[in-house]
């Protein structure tokens, strides 16, 4: 019995020793596992805090960028409004001066007529001789060149080479402006005919020659030529622009959409948009606003400019223009200032697209190419089709500058008068395009305008989805281009 009890006691002591050793070995492993879990929880918590901080920083940066953009836009708008007010005051002052001078001249003429009626016939004969002598103060200039161009048998090719249009188109413009620019003869001089007035303006716009050469060609004074150019341009803008440069009606829009969809496969496109720069002489006011940094860097020559934004149809005819904003503004900033942008916000362009370059933001009515890196085949194919539509607008601006060479170099026209001249050039361009007036290949001009990616490239999530749907539809229906391959 004693030996059995001792055996059981030794075995029990052995088992208790084994349990103690096992419990002693598990405790360090348990502590290590708890430490690992704690570290993972801390890392996860730290990562969560880092993500929250990054989101806060990005949101803060985005709000700062948006506020800076709004502040810059507001400052630019206030500046341009003040500038327009300043020019309006100058125009009003000039108008009052001209009115006073005309009134004074009329009173002097009336007094002279009354004095003549009270004189005897002999005195009147002497006075008429003095009036004839009074005409002699006008300098006798030769206008043989214009008389030659104005002959009925003058070759139409030579006429078109000089004025960028045929005689029939020139006659059409003269008839449209006759009631506005025609003048009556006076006792001092004969009025300049309507045809000569229009010819002075068109030849100056077409050649870009200085007023000194315009004066020699047409036998008129330099100041007279300058005055005629502004008068005819103003008449073109006020009389012909409503007829030849306006937003299409519903039937025309439907036709444009069908033509563009037939060529590109992209539906509901009503036009192509482009913005170009017109060089100017450094203005006396607000030089920095008109400083064109991109042209200056490319040409290694200080450049100043104003912008012309235009929307064209499939023929290259302008359907909307926005003229005169300073050259320091990007394409998207000019777009936001345009009347087209305001009409689009009012619902005019709901359900349709206007194709623009990468310088414009993607919006509910502005369709632009993909600009991110590493494009897919679908996106490359879409960009190729968009480029074909965009090319129509760019080539239209090339023909505009090719026909009217005054737009290629810095002009003598004052800054406040320049929008009127540019508007007249756009109207004349439309008349030539509508009447199929071809352009001489030697006059073709390649437009080079640097496109800057807008600060906010995406202004509508729904438009991004619509663009993706169009791109997939082009590729899946075999309508996409393959040049990128």
**pLDDT tens-digit series, residues 113-170:** 566 555 555 555 544 444 444 444 456 678 899 999 999 999 999 999 999 999 999 9
Sequence-distant (6+) residues with CB within 8 A of 453 are 358, 359, 371
Report the candidate in 163, 166, 156 with the shortest Cα–Cα distance to residue 437.
166
pLDDT computed for residue 482 by the predictor: 52
The confidence band for 96, taking pLDDT boundaries of 50, 70 and 90, is confident
Q: Which of 191-195, 251-255, 458-462 has the lowest mean pLDDT?
A: 458-462
Q: Which residue has the higher pLDDT, 342 or 65?
A: 342
pLDDT at residue 348 greater than cutoff 70 = yes
Type and span of the H or E element at 242: helix 241-244
The token duo for 153 is 């048998």
The average pLDDT across 257-268 equals 93
Which residues make up the CATH 1.10.472 domain(s) of the chain?
143-243
Report the candidate in 277, 280, 307 with the shortest Cα–Cα distance to residue 448.
277
pLDDT computed for residue 131 by the predictor: 43
The confidence band for 216, taking pLDDT boundaries of 50, 70 and 90, is very high
Looking at CATH, the fold of the domain delimited by 143-243 is given as Cyclin A; domain 1 (1.10.472)
Q: Which of 24-28, 97-101, 382-386 has the lowest mean pLDDT?
A: 24-28
The average pLDDT across 103-107 equals 74
Per-residue pLDDT tens digits for 393-431: 999 999 999 999 999 988 878 899 999 999 999 999 999
Report the candidate in 48, 50, 47, 46 with the shortest Cα–Cα distance to residue 58.
50
């Amino acid at each position: 019995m004693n030996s059995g009890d001792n055996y059981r006691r030794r075995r029990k002591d052995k088992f208790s020793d084994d349990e103690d050793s096992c419990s002693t070995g598990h405790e360090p492993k348990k502590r290590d596992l708890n430490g690992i879990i704690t570290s993972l929880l801390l890392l996860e918590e730290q990562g969560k805090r880092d993500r929250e901080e990054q989101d806060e920083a990005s949101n803060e940066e985005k709000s700062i960028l948006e506020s800076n953009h709004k502040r810059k836009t507001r400052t630019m708008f206030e500046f341009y409004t003040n500038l327009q007010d300043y020019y309006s005051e100058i125009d009003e002052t000039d108008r009052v001066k001209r009115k006073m001078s005309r009134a004074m001249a009329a009173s002097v003429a009336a007094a002279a007529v009354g004095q003549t009626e009270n004189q005897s016939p002999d005195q009147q004969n002497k006075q008429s001789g003095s009036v004839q002598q009074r005409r002699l103060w006008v300098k006798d200039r030769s206008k043989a060149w214009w008389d030659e161009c104005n002959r009925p048998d003058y070759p139409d090719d030579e006429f078109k080479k000089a004025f960028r249009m045929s005689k029939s188109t020139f006659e059409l413009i003269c008839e449209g402006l006759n009631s506005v620019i025609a003048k009556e003869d006076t006792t001092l001089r004969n009025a300049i005919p309507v045809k000569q007035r229009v010819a002075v303006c068109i030849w100056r716009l077409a050649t870009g020659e200085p007023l000194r050469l315009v004066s020699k060609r047409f036998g008129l004074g330099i100041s007279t030529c300058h005055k005629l150019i502004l008068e005819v341009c103003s008449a073109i803008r006020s009389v012909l622009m409503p007829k030849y440069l306006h937003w299409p009606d519903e039937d025309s829009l439907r036709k444009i959409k069908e033509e563009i969809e037939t060529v590109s496969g992209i539906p509901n496109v009503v036009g192509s948009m482009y913005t170009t720069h017109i060089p100017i002489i450094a203005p006396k006011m607000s030089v920095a606003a008109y400083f064109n940094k991109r042209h200056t860097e490319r040409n290694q020559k200080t450049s100043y400019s104003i912008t012309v934004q235009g929307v064209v149809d499939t023929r290259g005819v302008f359907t909307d223009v926005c003229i005169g904003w300073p050259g320091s503004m990007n394409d998207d900033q000019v777009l936001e200032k345009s009347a087209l942008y305001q009409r689009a916000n009012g619902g005019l362009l709901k359900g349709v697209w206007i194709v623009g370059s990468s310088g414009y933001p993607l919006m509910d009515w502005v369709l632009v190419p993909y600009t991110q890196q590493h494009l897919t085949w679908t996106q490359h194919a879409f960009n190729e089709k968009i480029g074909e539509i965009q090319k129509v607008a760019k080539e239209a601006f090339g023909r505009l500058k090719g026909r009217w060479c005054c737009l290629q170099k810095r002009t003598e026209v004052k800054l406040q008068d320049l929008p009127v001249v540019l508007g007249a050039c756009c109207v004349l361009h439309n008349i030539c395009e509508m009447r199929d007036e071809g352009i001489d290949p030697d006059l073709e001009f390649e437009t080079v305008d640097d496109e800057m990616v807008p600060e906010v490239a995406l202004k509508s999530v729904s438009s991004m989805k619509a663009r993706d749907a169009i791109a997939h539809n082009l590729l899946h229906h075999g309508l996409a281009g393959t040049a990128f391959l």
